Amino acid sequence: GAGVSQTPSNKVTEKGKYVELRCDPISGHTALYWYRQSLGQGPEFLIYFQGTGAADDSGLPNDRFFAVRPEGSVSTLKIQRTERGDSAVYLCASSQGQGVIYEQYFGPGTRLTVT
Amino acid sequence: ILNVEQSPQSLHVQEGDSTNFTCSFPSSNFYALHWYRWETAKSPEALFVMTLNGDEKKKGRISATLNTKEGYSYLYIKGSQPEDSATYLCAFSNDYKLSFGAGTTVTVRA
């Protein structure tokens, strides 16, 4: 079946612009996660959705970052007033439920470059 | 912030040789340790999830061991092949949240 998909695969934007990154999870997966991998580091947790609600947004770096999942399926990560430090690979993952027994399936990521 | 360390950062191995590398993680409040393989331009792929001290998992030529008391896991690749070239990430999970190491990038030379 179809895996997690993310669009766009690459995004180049100018400093100060607004960007939206989209994630289509595996159908039926209730849990959705966003991670960010900066150069030379491992992916870092940003936010976790259970259904439509953000159950844990403790990883969002500041209030320029916001994510939604209005119908409990597709999620959009929104970044306002982008900065060069936001350049990273943004990964989305989904799982059937919450907890270590549920594998997180990752998308291929969106590479964001802020110039 | 959970400190998950992987070493080495990168390694080169000759085709047919075996290799291994390490992941260290906090030994307290352990839930699970995950290994992922991430090939360039593809999605990270789950290899193993390990929950019990002494766990050993195997998938083809790749295996992993877990020591939760001392906080480390080894990943082994036996008889490396070019298709094993990838970045291998380990992640410590606290219920739903994964805390990743920076990865070990393996390059297999033919």
pLDDT in tens, B50-67: 998 899 999 999 999 999
Note if the bond before B82 is cis, omega within 30 degrees. Answer: no
- Residues A97 and B60: their CA atoms lie apart, in Å, by 28
For chain A, helix (H) and strand (E) counts, in that order, are 0, 11
C-alpha–C-alpha distance, residues B105 and A19, integer Å:
30
- Sign of the alpha-carbon torsion through A87, A89, A93, A98: negative
Does the pLDDT of residue A97 top 90, yes or no? no
> Looking at residues A22-30, what average pLDDT do you find?
96
Q: Do A108 and B43 touch (CB under 8 A)?
A: yes
Is there a contact between A88 and A19 (Cβ–Cβ < 8 Å)? no
Pick from A31, A99, A106: CB nearest B44: A106
| Closest CB from B6, B43, B49 relative to A3 | B43
Q: Which residues pair with A111 in a beta bridge?
A: A10, A89
A-chain CB neighbours of B95 within 8 Å are 98-100
Helix (H, G, I), strand (E, B) or coil at A84: helix
Please indicate whether, in this complex, the C-beta atoms of A109 and B51 are within 8 angstroms of each other.
Answer: no
Q: Is the pLDDT of residue A108 over 60?
A: yes
Q: Establish, for the pair of chains A and B, how many residue pairs have beta carbons separated by less than 8 Å.
A: 60
Least confidently predicted of A50-54, A62-66, B13-17, B77-81:
A50-54
DSSP-derived letter for residue A104 is P
Band the pLDDT of B1: cuts 50, 70, 90: low
> Chain A residues contacting B, CB < 8 Å?
3-4, 31, 33, 35, 40-45, 48, 55-56, 59, 91, 95, 98-100, 103-109
Of the candidates A20, A10, A70, A102, the one whose C-alpha atom is nearest the C-alpha of residue B32 is A102
Q: Which residues of B touch A109 (CB under 8 A)?
A: 43
CA-based nearest distance B88→chain A, Å: 10
